[in-house]
Amino acid sequence: MYVDVRRIYKFRMYRNDKRDGHLHQQINVAGLVWNHALALQRRYYRLTGKYIGLGRLKKHIAKLRMKTQRYAFWKDLGSQAVQDVLERLDKAYQRFFVKQSGLPRFKKVKKYRSFTLKQAGWKLLDSDDKRYGKIQIGKREYKFVQHRQINGVIKTVTVKRDSAGRLWLCFSVFEKLWIPEGVSAGEIGGFDFGLQTFLTDHTGHKYLSPEFFKQELHRVKTHNRAVSRKVKGSNNRRKAGWMLARTHIRVGDKRRDFHFQLAHDLCDKYDLLVFETLNMDAMKRLWGRKVSDLGFAQFVKIVEWVAFKRGKRVIFLDRWTPTTQICSNCGERQKLDLKQRIFACGHCGLVLDRDHNAAINIRAGASAHTARGEVRLPSDSIAVDGRSPRL
């Protein structure tokens, strides 16, 4: 069956120092517009106690951009991109109004990351070489590494720079994807997340996560030293900072590759995958900061996406199911503290690895949830392409 999805195609842009400068400049302008609009809104609130509203803000900024000498350089950035910045700010405020986040903040322009164009201000050009694509942004042409075909209808184009100062092109696309018709639950797999072992399945098989950060540790150290040797505020220091940032990005890339690989492996073996619903706050309390290093949340998104694409199903059990404390053999419940790696049932005498026991329970929990076991759409569009996870 065909399903409409929104997905993101991400490409690395060719390096071209002169033109890169123009793109960086446009991203900087986007940052300036953000800060300007935010300052305006704050002042307005101080004076009137009210919110300006998106429409009036857009009009005002457009006027500054077109009619004043002082802000004429904002025209470097396309008008749609300017509007997009204001829409982002509006969204941030709307989240703040319903108390989902704090007050929007001022941002360092150098650290501002992107601007987005909708239908106007850009154009894909024919490329005479298969290895790269060409795009016109404003008046200039740029090349990008087109390692795959874009399918579907392009809705927006975002130019991003990552923490290592590299430029990326992201196409947000509406696409009709062919999804295999619901593979009716044949093989069911239950999985338990763990700190030492990334995942344990109900057969007791453990899927270990390589320690990506450790692998790169020597590089991190070298680059850290390089940064601290350079004069503060100098160009050299900035460049050394980029090298350091690249190392951190590489760690993320490797982890992400591992997550995709694992997600595909699991979908090879099973038709229905059962997990516990992640409770990051509780996990952090229990396990400390290392949880974020493992990237469970990212893995969950990826496995949802991969399963969806392959017509497999994913179920997440209720958060409060005490899967670790129940004997998978007789159902007797007993307390287990964090250090106990073995589950030993006082009732039926079962002795089993703690995570293995939990995974069996999780798998069994699926039957109670099959009613809700429809194919879950990936909760929001995730970048399924490109390599850098954090931009």
Binding site for Zn ion (CB under 5 A): 327, 329-330, 332, 345, 347-348, 350
Minimum CB–partner distance for residue 323 and Zn ion (Å): 14
Residue number with CB closer to Zn ion (265 or 332): 332
Minimum CB–partner distance for residue 344 and Zn ion (Å): 9
Residue number with CB closer to Zn ion (295 or 365): 365
Residue number with CB closer to Zn ion (192 or 304): 192
Q: How far is CA 207 from CA 195, 211, 287, 306, in A?
A: 11, 13, 19, 17
d(CA 104, CA 34): 10
Residue number with CB closer to Zn ion (66 or 330): 330
Beta-strand relationship, 114-117 and 132-137 = unpaired
Minimum CB–partner distance for residue 325 and Zn ion (Å): 11
Minimum CB–partner distance for residue 326 and Zn ion (Å): 9
Q: How far is CA 187 from CA 202, 266, 330, in A?
A: 12, 11, 23
Minimum CB–partner distance for residue 185 and Zn ion (Å): 27
d(CA 154, CA 171): 6
Beta-strand relationship, 313-317 and 167-178 = unpaired
Residue number with CB closer to Zn ion (32 or 345): 345
Minimum CB–partner distance for residue 334 and Zn ion (Å): 9
Residue number with CB closer to Zn ion (361 or 388): 361
Minimum CB–partner distance for residue 195 and Zn ion (Å): 24
Task: Please give the torsion angle defined by the CA atoms of residues 12, 17, 18 and 24, in that order, rounded to the nearest 10 degrees.
Answer: 60
Candidates 294, 286, 285; CA nearest to 213 is: 294
Sign of the four-CA dihedral 101, 107, 113, 116: positive
Residue number with CB closer to Zn ion (33 or 362): 362
At residue 281's C-alpha, the angle toward residues 261 and 279, to 5°, is: 55
Residue number with CB closer to Zn ion (39 or 330): 330
Phi, psi dihedral angles at 140 (to 5 degrees): -105, 155
In a 10 Å sphere around its CB, with 0-12 CB exposed, 13-18 middle and 19+ buried, how is residue 181 labelled? exposed
Task: Please give the torsion angle defined by the CA atoms of residues 23, 29, 31 and 37, in that order, rounded to the nearest 10 degrees.
Answer: -150
Minimum CB–partner distance for residue 365 and Zn ion (Å): 17
d(CA 338, CA 332): 18
Residue type, position 152, single letter: G
